[in-house]
Amino acid sequence: MAKALIVSAQRHAQRQRKVTLAVQIATLTERERDIAHRVAAGQTNPAIAEALGIARHTVKLHRQRAMEKIGAGKTTDLVRIADEGNL
C-alpha cells in the first residue's frame, strides 16, 4: 500500500511538472521558441544567426530570455526539455 502511494505521488509530481513546463513554454515568443529549439538541436549561436539572418547578439538575447522563461539554467536543461518533447 505504501509503495502504491509513493508511485502515485511521483506520477502526480511528474504531471504537475509537465503542466508547469507547458505554461512556461507558452510564454515564449515564436522567435524564442525557434532559437531554443535550434540550440537544443545542437546548433551554435553563429549558425543560428546566419540561418535566421540576425545578429549573434540577438540570438544570445532570445536564447537567454527563453531559458529564463522555462527555468533552464544550463543548455543541458534545455536539451532535456526538448528531448522530453516539450519544446
Residue 34: how many CB atoms within 10 A of its CB? 16
The pLDDT of residue 18: 85
The pLDDT of residue 47: 98
pLDDT digits (tens, 9 = 90+) for 17-64: 888 888 999 999 999 999 999 999 999 999 999 999 999 999 999 999
* Of 38, 29, 26, residue with least CA distance to 82: 38
